[in-house]
């Protein structure tokens, strides 16, 4: 016999009891046919990486901790702390049974960690001399590319400045050798991924501050090869000459973005949708987590705080739209999305460092 609709609705919003089952975050607003549920509560959840045995690893920016969600895709996810006392361990990656963690100055490796979650192995130092010049934008994003190399962001240590060792993306071998600059002129990327067919890197970049409420746009970029310059600090979003550093170069020489995003939306993690759960219109398209503005005037209002969708035709962006909102209620911030991950079943995982949550967005069709 079917439960009455009122009882069913109440059951859907019961909180997690010892991580025994999913809870529906009522404030989120995915499109019709989609649903969003709380997968796990993880304090300060930032970057995500999935292990070979279904463990979801989660980095943080504050608090110095790294977490593991055991059986993340199963019936009873369990959250464990696997590292602590670290300096801004935002960036994480997983390869060949090992978890890689990026701090401000170092890259660490935890070998065989999925079989030792309760007693994690000691960290092996892979790199201990990453460029560092203060805490601003010192947190790293990190991922292995299709070439097997480890890519690491180097955010500019400023709002706007000329620091040749920063504002770039590094790449290196998994053991830290063979380090080189892959891309320059990148103010602060906290998200990159690779096209599932071409293998080309795509990344977000956060525009500079203090040029007003509406300038400059943030960026979605494409790096088809090494050695490209995307304009920082002399040019923003492909067309805007910087009033302080514009004489250092020409916008005509900088690689323009694939798409100009909203001003100050703070785009972070991004993913091509490679699953089959979502309708065909979403496959091969780009989802972006917009962390949200902090420096727009009260009159202009906050912007970002959502998951956006950029639709593509080849390498050309044809639209830029909201996929899921609800992280902002008027002027009240309910959440700040950070990273995205396409789960093996095709669901989209979303981390939220404001709410301390990992959400699972799935598609079940129209009612």
What is the structure's pLDDT at 24?
75
Nearest Cα to 40, choosing from 66, 11, 5, 15?
Answer: 15
Write down the residue that tokens 């995982």 correspond to: 349
Bond into 216 cis (ω within 30)? yes
Task: Return d(Cα 264, Cα 305) in angstroms, integer.
Answer: 11
| Residue 19, token pair as written in the block | 């991580």
Number of domains in the chain: 1
What is the structure's pLDDT at 366?
65
User: pLDDT tens across 253-267, in order?
Assistant: 999 999 999 999 999
What is the longest distance spanned by two Cα atoms in the chain? 74
How, if at all, do strands 168-172 and 150-154 pair? Answer: antiparallel
Q: Does the pLDDT value for residue 283 go beyond 90?
A: yes
Phi, psi of 7 (to 5 degrees): -65, -40
Q: Residue 246's domain is classified under what CATH number?
A: 2.120.10.30
pTM for the whole structure:
0.93
Identify whether 1 is part of a domain. Answer: no
Q: How confident is the model at residue 10 (pLDDT cuts 50, 70, 90)?
A: very low
Identify whether 152 is part of a domain. Answer: yes
Q: Does the pLDDT value for residue 44 go beyond 60?
A: yes
What is the structure's pLDDT at 111?
98
> What's the domain range around 28?
21-363
181-217 in b/e form (b: 16+ CB < 10 A) is ebbbbbbbbbbbbbbeeeeebbbbbbbbeebeeeebb
Identify whether 9 is part of a domain. Answer: no
Q: How confident is the model at residue 14 (pLDDT cuts 50, 70, 90)?
A: very low
Identify whether 140 is part of a domain. Answer: yes
Q: Does the pLDDT value for residue 186 go beyond 60?
A: yes
| Residue 136, token pair as written in the block | 């601003």
143 exposure class (CB count in 10 Å sphere: 0-12, 13-18, 19+): buried
When pLDDT is averaged across residues 147-160 and rounded to a whole number, the result is 98
Nearest Cα to 340, choosing from 9, 40, 49?
Answer: 49
Q: Does the pLDDT value for residue 131 go beyond 80?
A: yes
Secondary structure of 150-186 as H, E, C letters: EEEEECCCCCCCCCCCCCEEEEECCCCCCCEEEEECC
Tell me the average pLDDT of the chain: 93
Q: Does the pLDDT value for residue 243 go beyond 50?
A: yes
What is the structure's pLDDT at 214?
96
User: pLDDT tens across 288-339, in order?
Assistant: 999 999 989 999 999 999 999 999 999 999 999 999 999 999 999 999 999 9
What is the structure's pLDDT at 9?
36
What is the structure's pLDDT at 15?
36
Identify whether 156 is part of a domain. Answer: yes
Identify whether 10 is part of a domain. Answer: no
User: pLDDT tens across 99-111, in order?
Assistant: 999 999 999 999 9
Identify whether 11 is part of a domain. Answer: no
Identify whether 276 is part of a domain. Answer: yes
């Amino acid at each position: 016999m079917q439960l009455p609709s009122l009882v069913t609705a109440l059951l859907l919003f019961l909180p997690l009891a010892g991580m025994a089952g999913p809870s529906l975050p009522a404030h989120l607003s995915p499109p019709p046919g989609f649903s969003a549920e709380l997968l796990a509560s993880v304090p300060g959840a930032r970057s995500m990486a999935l292990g070979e045995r279904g463990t979801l690893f989660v980095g943080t920016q504050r608090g110095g901790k790294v977490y593991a969600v055991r059986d993340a895709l199963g019936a009873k996810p369990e959250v464990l702390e696997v590292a602590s006392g670290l300096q801004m361990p935002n960036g994480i990656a997983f390869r060949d049974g090992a978890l890689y963690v990026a701090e401000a100055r170092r890259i660490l490796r935890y070998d065989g960690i999925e079989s030792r979650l309760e007693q994690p192995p000691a960290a092996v130092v892979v790199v201990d001399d990453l460029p560092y010049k203060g805490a601003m934008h010192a947190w790293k994003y990190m991922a292995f590319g299709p070439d097997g190399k480890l890519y690491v962001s180097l955010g500019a240590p400023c709002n706007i400045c000329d620091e040749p060792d920063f504002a770039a993306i590094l790449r290196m071998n998994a053991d830290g050798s063979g380090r080189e600059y892959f891309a320059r002129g990148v103010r602060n990327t906290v998200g990159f991924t690779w096209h599932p067919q071409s293998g080309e890197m795509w990344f977000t970049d956060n525009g500079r501050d203090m040029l007003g409420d509406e300038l400059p746009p943030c960026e979605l970029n494409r790096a088809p090869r090494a050695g490209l310059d995307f304009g920082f600090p002399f040019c923003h979003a492909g067309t805007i000459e910087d009033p302080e550093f514009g004489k250092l170069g020409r916008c005509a020489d900088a690689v323009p973005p694939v798409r100009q995003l909203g001003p100050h939306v703070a785009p972070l993690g991004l993913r091509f949708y490679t699953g089959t759960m979502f309708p065909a219109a979403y496959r091969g398209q780009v989802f972006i987590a917009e962390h949200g503005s902090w420096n727009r005037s009260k009159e202009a209002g906050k912007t970002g705080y959502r998951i956006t969708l950029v639709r593509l035709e080849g390498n050309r962006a044809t639209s830029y739209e909201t996929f899921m909102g609800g992280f902002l209620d008027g002027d009240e911030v309910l959440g700040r999305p950070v990273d995205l991950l396409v789960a093996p079943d095709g669901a989209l995982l979303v981390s939220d460092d404001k709410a301390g949550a990992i959400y699972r967005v799935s598609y079940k069709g129209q009612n």
